[in-house]
Chains A and B, each alone.
Chain A
Amino acid sequence: MFKSVINLMLISFTLMLFGLPAQAATPKEALWPTLKVAYFGDKPVRENANDLLVIEAPKRAEDAAIVPITVKSLVAQTPDKYIKNIHIIIDNNPEPYSANFHLSPDLGLIDISTRMRVDQYTDVRAIAEMNDGSLHMVSRFVKASGGCSAPAGKDATAALARLGKMQIRMRTPTVGEPVQAQVIVSHPNYNGLQFDQASRRYIPAHYVKNINISYNDRSLINVDAGISISEDPSIRFTFTPNVNGVLKADIVDSKNQTFTLQKEI
């Protein structure tokens, strides 16, 4: 799975190098037709799949570095029919392919939030890939933030100092009842697009590339993440613990550093 995401990222990096206006002002021409082929080939993508999926994002990115994005499903996961993956694509970001959430059929109704960097005016898309392979898309348009809000972090030293610290935040759950939980890991999530004047080289990307959230060793959500994810990646989600057990989050970053935290329920 990693490999496919890396491929996707390579594709979009290539797109970037070949003159698509990744670093330029908001492109006038829609990128989506190109991105669709790059990421999904000739597979049809059903648009406005509002009967299946909801995407929530603020109309305006208040802080370009932290834009909350929520995806909810309207149809509960069942072993026979479930959303296998949710791909998040932010058309006009330097790296449009932003995340792939691999989802368990055990999750019930999907309700997942994360925080993204949004560089400029853009469509933000969530594409559900069902277990039968079909693709269903919803999207929202997000206006860029104004002025001095750069997608860069605010305090690089503080971010590095607490690198790898983790939290699992949730209320005391009741077995059999849905509960909301949040996994956060402190990480600067350097995007690799910053140029170092002194060395005349790009500062290497250093970001969280995978977050696996499991319950009693069964994966609930496994996120392949890209550089669009905000500093200090956060995944908020709902799940139903049907027995007592251990909720665990495992993080791997692009330098293959691993971080883990668990919580008994």
Chain B
Amino acid sequence: MKRFLGVLLLTVLSIKISFGATDYIISELGQGIYYHQGVHEDASAHNIGAIANVSFVVGNNCVAVIDSGGSYLEGSYLRHAIKDRTNLPICYVINTHVHPDHTFGNAAFKSDNPSFIGHSKLAAAMESRQTYFDQTFKEILGSAYTGTEFISPTQIVETNRPITIDLGNRILTLTAHSTAHTDHDLTVYDDFTKTLWTGDLLFIERVPVMDGSINGWIKVMYDMLSLDLNCVIPGHGSPAHSDWQVAINNQLHYFSLMRDQIRSIIANLGTIDQATQSVGLSETSHWELFEHYHRRNITASFVELEWE
């Protein structure tokens, strides 16, 4: 009976204790590249908002963080993981775009006084969403949110004018894109390993979310396919190696199919409701969280394609 009670107590405890630093798993890709893979869930107090992939790259002199996590708490876990592995300073915190799961950890790195780098339109995007994000995510994330701040970039990248940063014998190239997943997507390329961080320009396993332009995104995906890469770290899902083009093609298929079907509904003077009920259903079983975001993608694409 005692033992039973003990087990029961342990069970209760393990339910009570939410996500701790020890559960925060960091994987190593080799050559100084580390990442934490986000879970395929919506942000919650339980998962502390750790739903996106966050990474860091260690050069000879400096560390660069690529996306800071979905809460202050995740940011602090990520920082802890970096400090466990190197004494080098964190010189750069790069945000691939504004969404909470990629930026909410920024404040955890304030004491490192890094350059916060983002697309030239990131600050405006943050400003226009700040009130909404604050009120929404305070509720969603609970105590993990405490300490979260909206930190705008201190260094910006303009569209079509890539910049490079040097971590010490390690050059990263940062490219700002025109509207695709959002109107301020930034990708990071490591020349040494031919690794590309796509931010949310690529979702693997988890259904992509459109918060920019379907036409723009399809174009960016075609451009990406022609790159010479060994590895792709997506915004969500497992990093892809030799099969990275398959991953991009899967996402391209999802959006191309959707675009074709929405265009024909618009041509027939159909409505958003008709579109959300019928478009892209053949993709249902191919993606995690499909039910959560697919109709939203249709809605957003519909109002864009109305103006073609």
CA separation between A25 and B137, bound complex, in Å? 10
Evaluate contact between A154 and B132: CB separation under 8 angstroms: no
Closest chain A residue to B123, Cβ basis: A197
Chain B residues with CB under 8 A of A186: 307
Interface flags for B284-308 (1: CB within 8 Å of A; 0: not) read 0000000010011011100110110
Q: Tell me if B28 is interfacial: C-beta within 8 Å of chain A.
A: no
Evaluate contact between A154 and B211: CB separation under 8 angstroms: yes
The size bracket of the interface on B is: 35 or more
Chain A residues with CB under 8 A of B271: 68, 113, 236
Q: Tell me if A17 is interfacial: C-beta within 8 Å of chain B.
A: no
Q: Tell me if B243 is interfacial: C-beta within 8 Å of chain A.
A: no
Q: Tell me if A255 is interfacial: C-beta within 8 Å of chain B.
A: no
Chain B residues with CB under 8 A of A236: 271
B222 to chain A minimum Cβ distance, whole angstroms, is 19
Evaluate contact between B183 and A147: CB separation under 8 angstroms: no
CA separation between A66 and B306, bound complex, in Å? 13
Interface flags for A223-262 (1: CB within 8 Å of B; 0: not) read 0000000111010100000000000000000000000000
Evaluate contact between A147 and B42: CB separation under 8 angstroms: yes
CA separation between A66 and B299, bound complex, in Å? 7
Chain B residues with CB under 8 A of A154: 179, 182-183, 211-213, 300, 304
Evaluate contact between A68 and B307: CB separation under 8 angstroms: no
Partner of B132, one of A63, A150, A157: A150
Q: Tell me if A195 is interfacial: C-beta within 8 Å of chain B.
A: yes
Evaluate contact between B295 and A62: CB separation under 8 angstroms: yes
Closest chain B residue to A170, Cβ basis: B269
A10 to chain B minimum Cβ distance, whole angstroms, is 22
Chain A residues with CB under 8 A of B304: 154
- Give the interface centre of B271, B272, B276, B306 by most chain A CB atoms within 10 Å: B272
Q: Tell me if A152 is interfacial: C-beta within 8 Å of chain B.
A: yes
Chain A residues with CB under 8 A of B133: 150
Evaluate contact between A25 and B138: CB separation under 8 angstroms: yes
Q: Tell me if B191 is interfacial: C-beta within 8 Å of chain A.
A: no
Interface flags for A1-38 (1: CB within 8 Å of B; 0: not) read 00000000000000000000001110000000000000
Interface flags for A192-224 (1: CB within 8 Å of B; 0: not) read 011111000000000000000000000000000
CA separation between A148 and B99, bound complex, in Å? 6
Evaluate contact between B269 and A180: CB separation under 8 angstroms: yes
Chain B residues with CB under 8 A of A88: none
Closest chain B residue to A70, Cβ basis: B273
Evaluate contact between B179 and A152: CB separation under 8 angstroms: no
Partner of A115, one of B125, B269, B272, B295: B272
Evaluate contact between A119 and B307: CB separation under 8 angstroms: no
Beyond contacts A58-B295, A68-B271: 8 other A-B pairs, Cβ-Cβ < 8 A, are A62-B276, A62-B295, A63-B296, A119-B132, A156-B183, A157-B179, A158-B183, A184-B306
List the 10 shortest-distance A-B pairs measured between CB atoms, nearest first: A62-B296, A152-B128, A150-B129, A62-B295, A63-B299, A155-B183, A148-B99, A150-B132, A63-B296, A155-B179
16 A-B Cβ contacts within 8 A? A25-B138, A56-B273, A58-B273, A62-B298, A115-B272, A146-B42, A147-B136, A147-B140, A152-B132, A154-B182, A154-B183, A156-B128, A167-B306, A171-B269, A231-B303, A232-B307
